[in-house]
Amino acid sequence: DLGEVSRQYFSDQEEQALGRAIMRDVYADPRYLDDPEIETYLNQLGYKLVEVSTRNQREFNFFVVDDPSINAFAMPGGNIGVHTGLLLAAQNESELASVVGHEIAHVTQNHIARMIASQSQSQWPTMAALALALLAARSNPNVASAAIASTQAFSIQNQLNYSRDYEREADRLGYDMLTRGGFDPRGMSGFFSRLERANRFYDSSAPAYLRTHPLTTDRISDMQSRSETAPYQQVADSLDFQLVRARLRARENSPADAVLAARNALKDKRYSSETAARYGLVTALVRARQFKAAEAEVQKLLSGKPTHPMIQQLAAYAALAAGTPALALQRYQAGSEAHPGYRPLQYGHIEALLAAGRSRDA
């Protein structure tokens, strides 16, 4: 168990402090995606895996980075970032869960703390440079972008790449989380095999994930061997996963192009979930400020699966964006009553109250 690490030189308190310092600057950076719906989903997925981990005594925080590259990374303090590119590249939810579980294992096994502790104290300023690169975002976005491009400031392990032993351990524990969490264990071998092929044939533009996570043929073989011995089970993607991907696609390209792409997908039935496809269309229509068309599609959504919190949140937000705060408040009220713990609805409800001039109620 490589996670049994001495904290003689890097205590748990020091790791938590470093994690908090870096996250303050991540939240201030323009690449941080402040989207409560997507972040809520990612935390729900992450904690579904954490809860079945054999070492789940610590807190985790999952956040999203608005970056098209395929990447995910663990940082000090249980902070795990996932790029939007990974959310869209995963062909199913089990593939996404396999990467998230792998990163959770890096945290539970104290791999980051071990790597930092293994450096002599004279090298610690190199680690601090990551936080300084993010600090630049507050004063000069151009400097911040250059710093991120050159140092991968979002990924602390870029300074200390994971060893093959760490990777094998994260594979093993991540696989266990997949199976215990009810996901398809073949998601891990399928996803990492595709990454390996991309690295082999397109070395100059290899996925960012492989820069800090060395991928070998032995690791791929181990993943495939484990999945081949597992009993076959077909695991359907959750509606949440499909809605999140539709939401991300609606953010791509220009608003008009996003609307056209969403309409064509619905017309040609190019979707795995009609509900998610329509959700994506409404998101794109609101973005394009086509509120009348958006409301017509909202009505279709509400007649189908109106109880899903992401759908109720979008219906209320569409009404608020269209300048009908009374309707928005009605929908937020209904959504909050149906899903009292769903934070995006709570945030939206407060925004609608403020828009209606009811600041005291907010």
Q: Tens of pLDDT along 149-200?
A: 444 444 444 444 567 788 888 889 999 999 999 999 899 888 888 887 776 6
The region of weakest confidence among 106-115, 213-222, 304-313 is 213-222
Predicted pLDDT of residue 290: 98
Question: Is 15 a residue of the active site?
Answer: no
> Are residues 181 and 216 part of one domain?
yes
Last residue of a domain, one of 203, 229, 255: 229
As for how many domains the chain has, the answer is 2
Predicted pLDDT of residue 153: 46
* 24-49: average pLDDT: 93
Residue numbers of the domain that contains 90: 12-229
Given a cut of 90, whether residue 215 has pLDDT beyond it is no
In a domain, 256, yes or no: yes
- For residue 251, give the CATH number of its domain: 1.25.40.10
* Catalytic annotation, pick one of 171, 176, 184, 237: 171
The region of weakest confidence among 43-52, 105-114, 252-261, 347-356 is 105-114
In a domain, 2, yes or no: no
* Catalytic annotation, pick one of 35, 103, 167, 169: 103
> Are residues 144 and 81 part of one domain?
yes
The region of weakest confidence among 124-133, 176-185, 197-206 is 124-133
Could you tell me the pTM of the whole model? 0.86
Rounded distance, CA 198 to CA 207, Å? 7
> Are residues 324 and 198 part of one domain?
no
> Are residues 268 and 207 part of one domain?
no
Dihedral sign computed on CA atoms, order 33, 36, 41, 47: positive
> Are residues 244 and 224 part of one domain?
no
In a domain, 3, yes or no: no
Rounded distance, CA 43 to CA 91, Å? 19
In a domain, 234, yes or no: no
Residues 322-360: tens digit of each pLDDT: 999 999 999 999 999 999 999 999 999 999 999 888 888
Given a cut of 60, whether residue 140 has pLDDT beyond it is no
Rounded distance, CA 121 to CA 21, Å? 19
> Are residues 44 and 132 part of one domain?
yes
Question: Is 103 a residue of the active site?
Answer: yes
Predicted pLDDT of residue 229: 80
> Are residues 314 and 165 part of one domain?
no
Question: If residue 1 lies in a helix (H) or strand (E), which one and from where to where?
Answer: none
> Are residues 296 and 196 part of one domain?
no
Reported confidence tier of residue 74, pLDDT bands at 50, 70, 90: confident
> Are residues 202 and 64 part of one domain?
yes
Q: What is the distance, to the nearest Å, from the Cα of residue 123 to the centroid of all Cα atoms in its chain?
A: 31
